[in-house]
Copies of this chain bind each other. A is one copy, B any other.
Amino acid sequence: MKIELASSYGFCFGVKRAIKIAESAGNAATIGPLIHNNEEINRLAINFNVKTLNGINELSDERKAIIRTHGITKDDLAKLKQSSIDVIDATCPFVTKPQQICERMSEEGYDIVIFGDENHPEVKGVKSYSYGRVFVVLEENELDDIKLKQKVAVVSQTTRKVEKFMQIVNYLMLRVKEVRVFNTICNATFENQEAAKELSKRADIMIIIGGKNSSNTKQLYLISKNFCKDSYLIESEDEIDKEWFKNKELCGISAGASTPDWIIQKVVNKIEKI
């Protein structure tokens, strides 16, 4: 069986940057997991004493707080900055962008639509920057019963699929006079998605490696599954089942934006031995 890695996969700019920041800070706490990858979080805890808290209320004697790649809410950030703790911002610049847009657009009187998962920390953060009305949706029909203003600004969670974003924009074009579209979907996500799509069309089996709470990893899995029914989402090599590979000729591999290379390598090594 041949193994082929997607032409683009794994760590994005924002994740690489956040890990570097965490490593050089050391002895710090992150508010929520720095990135959506448990193995990497453990590595940072063990090697650099960077621990993960669930929220700012868990802070006690820490001297440094690192803001996760997904950002935190405006209120939490303000509280941290008012406290005596050192705030080290590892928010991905591609996430800071929609936060700023939300703030500016609500100042300018737009209704705001965020295409994303309202339970995702990135979306919670972005949403918190809006002063006015803001609607978080995954499907356009969630807006059916809402009387929208005639001017609506739209942003997307950075890790969403652009096709669905377009559907939401098209829906809004029919409903309101002005739709101000900010394509805040991250290129890295897009590139990983396109590469996974291309590979999954040819592969007999697809292995997607990444955190099961990672939005972009789940998207990669869904895209693969669409073209290659034998697609599997795993967090580490331990989940691999030999049975999956029977009679398969080409095994495609991709990984989410927060999956470190060392985990990918372990998976490849294990598959090579099958």
**Chain A residues near B (Cβ < 8 Å):** 162, 165-166, 169-170, 173-174, 176-183
Contacts and interface: CB of A to CB of B under 8 A. Distances in A.
Contact of A166 (B170, B176, B182): B170
B178 A181 contact: yes
25 contacts: A162-B173, A162-B174, A165-B173, A166-B170, A166-B173, A169-B169, A169-B170, A169-B173, A169-B181, A170-B170, A173-B181, A173-B183, A174-B183, A176-B183, A177-B182, A177-B183, A178-B180, A178-B181, A178-B182, A178-B183, A179-B180, A179-B183, A180-B180, A180-B181, A181-B181
Contacts of A176: 183
A154 to B, nearest CB: 10
Contacts of A180: 178-181
A176 B180 CA distance: 12
A165 B170 CA distance: 9
Contacts of A165: 173
A169 B166 CA distance: 8
Nearest to A181: B179
Given A166-B173, A169-B173, A180-B181, 19 more contacts: A162-B173, A162-B174, A165-B173, A166-B166, A166-B169, A166-B170, A169-B170, A169-B181, A170-B170, A173-B181, A174-B183, A176-B183, A177-B182, A177-B183, A178-B183, A179-B180, A179-B181, A179-B183, A181-B181
A100 to B, nearest CB: 12
Nearest to A185: B173
A128 to B, nearest CB: 22
Nearest to A184: B177
A98 B183 CA distance: 23
Contacts of A177: 182-183
Contacts of A169: 166, 169-170, 173, 181
Interface centre among A165, A173, A174, A177 (most CB of B within 10 A): A173
A163 to B, nearest CB: 9
